[in-house]
Chain A
């Protein structure tokens, strides 16, 4: 992933809020993910909710820092890890750099 890139959510994933957990459910599953769901932690859910196909990862982090008290380095590490995970399951895709 690249921090200057813009990512958009893939329509083949449905976001569910179940008992306080943010879950991504793939609706077009491959065999390897046949019965998988993806659970995001609180930070992951807050970042996921900001991915809009308009703002770069950098802009999203800046927005996040305005709302939460969080170290920039730690946030960059967490967001990079999350985006890598989301890209690997094709829950997001890069639309611009």
Chain B
């Protein structure tokens, strides 16, 4: 028997890892959020029902999916979240939850401790209430987020804290990183990419940092600088989305990845097996070409 943290020998095309945006609902209105445009009652009514999600989860388990990331929106904004979560754990998925943390109560933390996730990733947008809530537009969200971090740390839940670099929190990003480093066994991720809203809106880009600002930021921290240099020196590999990773949106649409929703396969009416193995391979992706054959080399691509 071998102890591992992930499987390494997989077929070239295998549905190993799923990111599932189980809802676009959210209690916050983060200014850079790309899903918040669908956080409205008419769109929410179209989201997958509990029974649909449970059925599709069973299909994923049957197909061999091992890693399942539940994201949103805010996944805990679904009233049935813990029913979905518990089902996912009992199916034997390695479950990651992306959350803003602000809905996690002591009882929820106990629930996570009883049935442990692979990890929980919480967005920490600022180190001051003012900055944090200027981004989330949610009064009290800063305190609730920090409280959730404490509750999860107390229970030794594997935790990642992450921030999106933007003009509103630029001056606090290094403080956030230092705060995370002061916590034992917690990892930090800094995202630099802004995305258009799912309805095509470009509002998030008004908060995007310039390349100059990002460069200045990275130069101030050895870890960030090392990562930035590594990104600069490496050719971005061809996108692997749809090969061992895939995305499902809140309406049951199977897609290559969260950043490429141009083509979808409806899991409400079709089977996952058919969708992944017969339909997804034909979906277009601009980043699937090997870098050697491209005339212009992209510096980033949209893969998760």
Q: When the two chains form their complex, are residues B16 and A31 in contact, meaning their CB atoms are under 8 A apart? A: no
User: How big is chain A's contact interface, by range?
Assistant: 20 to 34
Q: When the two chains form their complex, are residues B158 and A34 in contact, meaning their CB atoms are under 8 A apart? A: yes
Which of A23, A27, A36, A38 has a CB less than 8 Å from the CB of B115? A27
Interface size on B, residues (CB 8 A): 29
Task: Report the minimum CB–CB distance from A26 to chain B (whole Å).
Answer: 8
Residues of A contacting B89 in the complex (Cβ-Cβ under 8 angstroms): 27
* B3-11, B101-109, B125-133, B228-236 - interface stretch: B3-11
Given A23-B66, A28-B114, A35-B118: A14 in contact with B7 (beta carbons within 8 A):
no
Residues of A contacting B158 in the complex (Cβ-Cβ under 8 angstroms): 34-35
Q: When the two chains form their complex, are residues A21 and B7 in contact, meaning their CB atoms are under 8 A apart? A: yes
Task: Report the minimum CB–CB distance from B2 to chain A (whole Å).
Answer: 5
Is B14 among interface residues, defined by CB-CB distance under 8 A? yes
For the complex, give the distance between the alpha carbons of A85 and B3 in Å: 10
For the complex, give the distance between the alpha carbons of A5 and B5 in Å: 31
Q: When the two chains form their complex, are residues B1 and A40 in contact, meaning their CB atoms are under 8 A apart? A: yes
For the complex, give the distance between the alpha carbons of A43 and B90 in Å: 25
Q: When the two chains form their complex, are residues A37 and B94 in contact, meaning their CB atoms are under 8 A apart? A: yes
Q: When the two chains form their complex, are residues B1 and A31 in contact, meaning their CB atoms are under 8 A apart? A: no
Compute the total of residue contacts between A and B using a CB distance below 8 Å: 73
Q: When the two chains form their complex, are residues A36 and B92 in contact, meaning their CB atoms are under 8 A apart? A: no
Is B247 among interface residues, defined by CB-CB distance under 8 A? no
Residues of B contacting A1 in the complex (Cβ-Cβ under 8 angstroms): none
Which of A14, A19, A82 has a CB less than 8 Å from the CB of B1? A82
Residues of B contacting A17 in the complex (Cβ-Cβ under 8 angstroms): 64
A residues 25-83 touching B (CB-CB < 8 Å)? 25, 27-29, 31, 34-41, 44, 82
Interchain Cβ contacts under 8 Å between A and B, 15 examples: A16-B66, A19-B9, A21-B9, A23-B66, A28-B115, A28-B116, A34-B116, A34-B158, A35-B158, A37-B6, A38-B1, A38-B2, A38-B4, A39-B3, A41-B1
Report which B residues bind A (CB closer than 8 A). Answer: 1-7, 9-11, 14, 16, 61, 64-66, 89-94, 114-116, 118-119, 156, 158
